[in-house]
Amino acid sequence: MPAIHVHMLTGRTPEQKKAFIKAIAEVTVDILAVPEDAVRIILTEVAPEHWGIGSRDMAEIRAGMKQVGP
């Protein structure tokens, strides 16, 4: 039974997450030749301020990205 645990930042819609789970399940079934009901997919959403890259959290990084432009 494959178990796939995905960590992602919060902010995606329920429809996006549902489509993502479906796509991951389909690929897993195709590549690993397992029945679909054997595939487990766990999405863990993390707040941007709890996800760090280097010394900055993603809330800071995203804020800086919004400021970049013409």
Contact predicate 44/7, CB 8 Å = yes
What is the b/e burial string over 24-52, where b = at least 16 CB atoms within 10 angstroms of the residue's CB? bbeebbeeeeeeeeebebeeeeeebeebe
Q: Per the residue annotation, which of 2, 14, 48, 70 is the catalytic one?
A: 2
**Known catalytic residue: 2?**
yes
Residues recognised as catalytic: 2
